[in-house]
């Protein structure tokens, strides 16, 4: 059975000096379902998250994937393992694409954060996440710098190849902003559902964002 037309361009390797990166968000974890901040807390996929990862793996089954990379957190690693299995590949771990460190906000929802840290501070952070530090955590500017450097390292190792990279919601959003020249503070304008697939051609001199938040597999 042939893949859908949207996925057909993945079936051939990338060419030239650029690497085609299939950037995937991990499957669902329990805290995603209750809309709590899940940064460096090492949560496993829930049952639905495993199903999402398997659907994404099927979607990428005909892609000419040469290597698979993942954040070092278990939810991303497990998703990457499921995607890698049909291709007979092992998963390479890249800590630089770990989710943002939410520090003292880990496990809290927005209402809980506002109550504990004040409406004024939360509004200030929303207005300038690039520079305002999450208490005990990171700024989104720091996330952009470490994640984009990690992706540049990965791409440099795979010129002319297609690779899958499994990371996280904020990581993917910030990377897409960075690659498209969009201010980091607008990251929430980039949708990233669980196991969404993004395709990017990345080289030293040029970046082309091909698809964002591909969820076609979810309708199957």
Catalytic machinery residues = 26, 99
Interatomic CA distance for residues 98 and 193, integer angstroms: 17
Q: What six digits make up the tokens of 77?
A: 């690693």
């Amino acid at each position: 059975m042939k893949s859908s037309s949207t996925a057909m361009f993945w079936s051939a390797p990338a060419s030239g000096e650029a690497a085609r990166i299939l950037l995937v968000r991990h499957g669902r974890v329990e805290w995603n379902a209750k809309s709590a901040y899940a940064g460096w807390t090492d949560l496993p996929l829930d049952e639905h998250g495993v199903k999402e990862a398997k659907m994404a793996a099927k979607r990428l089954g005909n892609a000419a994937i040469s290597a698979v990379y993942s954040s070092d957190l278990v939810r991303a690693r497990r998703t990457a393992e499921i995607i890698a299995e049909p291709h007979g590949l092992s998963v390479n771990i890249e800590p630089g694409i770990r989710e943002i460190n939410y520090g003292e906000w880990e496990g809290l929802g927005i209402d809980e954060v506002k109550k504990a840290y004040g409406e004024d501070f939360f509004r200030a952070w929303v207005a300038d996440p690039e520079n305002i530090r999450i208490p005990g955590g990171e700024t989104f500017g720091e996330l952009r710098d470490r994640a984009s450097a990690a992706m540049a390292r990965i791409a440099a190792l795979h010129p002319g190849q297609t690779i899958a990279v499994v990371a996280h919601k904020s990581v993917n959003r910030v990377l897409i902003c960075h690659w498209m020249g969009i201010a980091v503070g607008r990251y929430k304008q980039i949708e990233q559902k669980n196991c969404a697939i993004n395709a990017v051609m990345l080289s030293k001199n040029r970046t082309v964002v091909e698809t964002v938040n591909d969820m076609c597999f979810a309708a199957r």
